[in-house]
Amino acid sequence: MQEKNNQITLSVIDSEAENKEILKRYRALLRSCRRHDMTPEEKKLIRLAFDTSMEAHKDMRRRSGEPYIYHPVAVAQIVSEELNLSSISVVCALLHDVVEDTDTTLEDIRGMFGKTVEKIIDGLTKISGVFDHSSSLQAENFRKMLLTLSDDVRVILIKLADRLHNMRTLGSLPREKQLKIASETAYLYAPLAHRLGLYAIKTELDDLVLKFTEPEVYRSIAQKLQQTKKERDKFIADFIKPLKAEFKKQGFKAEIKGRPKSINSIWNKMKKQQVPFEEIYDLFAIRIILDSELDQEKTDSWRAYSIVTDYFVPNPDRLRDWISTPKANGYESLHTTVMSSSGRWVEVQIRTTRMDEIAERGYAAHWKYKESAAENMLDDWLGRIRELLESAESNAIDFLDDFKLNLFADEIFIFTPTGELKTLPSNSTALDFAFEIHSDIGNRCIGAKINHKLVPISHRLHSGDQVEILTSSKQHPKEDWLNFVITAKAKSKIKVALKEEKRVRSDEGKEKLARKLKQLKVNMESFNLNDLLVYYKTPSAVDLYYKIAINAIDLKSLKDFFSKDGKLRSVKAKSSAPTLEDLVKHARGKAGMLVIGENLEKIDYKLSPCCNPIPGDDVFGFVTVNEGIKIHRVTCPNAIQLMSKHAYRIVKARWTGQKELAFLAGIQITGVDDVGVVSAITKVISSELKVNMRSISIDTNEGLFDGTIMLFVHDTEHLHKLMHKLEKIHGILKVIRIDTNE
């Protein structure tokens, strides 16, 4: 897709020869599609897609000078032949650049090819627009791509085919463009191909990246591989000769072949082992592919392993069983390393035809093998992407770290006490494992037994560990748990549990306060809470109740209050900031502040403490039994419940202009914990905008801070102006308005 700006015009073009070549390529595409037993309707759709693409790109050429239509046909060929996808994907591959590069619209696509094709083309177009090839790839772009991926995996499969063909033809671009595209491929596309189990594409992309980033290294290794090919082929033939005879004797239908390691993997070994090419001995692997029935695959694979080890001595430390425990990307195979008769170690891979196709084509093969676990594993992986996207913070860099950690990292395999297998990212802790089993077990986890040895909940796990989680009904999630768990699931569950615990404890505190007030002969009414919130410097009723529950507030201090007419009044409250109740009373004395009812008259009302509406908010009135009309924001958490259950008690309300008064509002600020940032915040609030703060609380954690500020503003315009000013402070990442009941 990136070549749309690289079109050139040739002075002399042999149109007849080009048309013959285009027809030849199109017929090759049709031959590759015939394996899918296409219906006449599907053939017509492919022809229509080809004609549409041909017309749309008729005046366009690639940097190489070739007609642009070569590219979509080649991508469609990869989609059909190498990814084994259906006719819908072939159609989308032919059309993948049409909307982006020409006047054809998505509506046109839907009219000709239907909604499914339109949706996939839309996804491909969005992905294309995500990348700015003049600057470095940004983490936010990565997230946008994944949002598209999580809708329809065919989008990314076609995009990978597109990228593969562009990498194959990268030689016609200038050097700086080659480096840019190759680096982007290594950063994003090759890892995605790996995670989707597309081994063949991943391997070729890695090799092509090396070819264009380090051409001398690539040429040197390719040349040496070619020079040693004859010797290597003879060794392979001698090695597999007795195996072929034995497999035939035992009635196996099997293909046995030598497969050279990729140039990129050889280069990585040379760097890792710090040795020259001549000292890399495992330049190839022997692959045994069995023609086996689905229910006999595991048995046949181990029988084949037995035959191999009858002829060659295995290295017991190099056995890998990915048939019993497939990799997260669906890869299944038995790997062993054996000693050849000439004294060389040789890697042997044993798999069935189905496993081999899934190993090469990854999740793209699950359309063919519906009974396999690949489809479910794909759904699981996409589900994990969605979970990460939904729980991700706005900071895209943090999100990218989470994503790579949870989805691109190596997996470890952990066993439960009953032998059930769980897959987790590397470096997961015992607590991550507990949450993987169930959130209740995670919440009550006090430790673990790993291989029968007692360890703390922060203990890092290793592949093969058998883990028994120890729990206690008295255990509850702690804030510091977030410092050592790494899975997105554990982090989100801990945060939910902490919030819920605070809510439950606040109910206990509310009851405790009610009993104390009863002793003072004071009713537990909301208008009494405002003085207490000011006096105890807490931002909300929930925080007040919670502090009372954990004894952070001593109710003996209520002696500083006195009771008057069944209401609580603070002796010291007179010198503090005005309460909401005072402000509301003051508002009633002013004409034109809030009007209520069908005739929108001025009526007595109270501002509901659950959402603290301020002028400018969309509001409604709710007729209560004992407290008259209460004003709620339309976005109040309780609004839906009130409107659905008691619609007859809802009355209209709207604000009219008034800026003499101040109303309580809450904002939450997240930022980098840096010297002077709190001072800068308070300066903007108090000095620049002359806003009175009622309370400010800040928590820091690993270089970041979360702050909650309760302040008095005139209206929503005043509040938004303040928030906008705060967002401009260096180090501030996020400023949002909050409801005080949160």
Residue numbers annotated as active site: 100-101
- The two tokens of residue 553 are 């507030």
- The two tokens of residue 659 are 């800026």
- Cα(346)–Cα(243) distance, integer angstroms: 14
The SS3 call for residue 317 is helix
- Cα(87)–Cα(96) distance, integer angstroms: 14
Of 655, 658, 657, 653, residue with least CA distance to 639? 653
- Cα(307)–Cα(233) distance, integer angstroms: 22
- Cα(346)–Cα(694) distance, integer angstroms: 73
The Cα-based distances of 148 to 5, 69, 119, 142 in angstroms read 24, 26, 10, 10
- Cα(471)–Cα(466) distance, integer angstroms: 16
- Cα(421)–Cα(464) distance, integer angstroms: 9
With beta carbons less than 8 A apart as the criterion, state whether 8 and 65 touch.
yes
Q: Hey, what long-range contacts does 238-242 have (CB within 8 A, 24 or more apart)?
A: 239/286, 239/340, 239/346, 240/286, 242/311
Q: Which amino acid is at 295?
A: D
Of 656, 592, 648, residue with least CA distance to 619? 656
- The two tokens of residue 640 are 């839906």
E strand intervals along 582-687: 594-596, 605-607, 619-623, 629-633, 650-655, 663-672
Of 203, 192, 122, residue with least CA distance to 382? 192
With beta carbons less than 8 A apart as the criterion, state whether 345 and 315 touch.
yes
With beta carbons less than 8 A apart as the criterion, state whether 632 and 611 touch.
yes
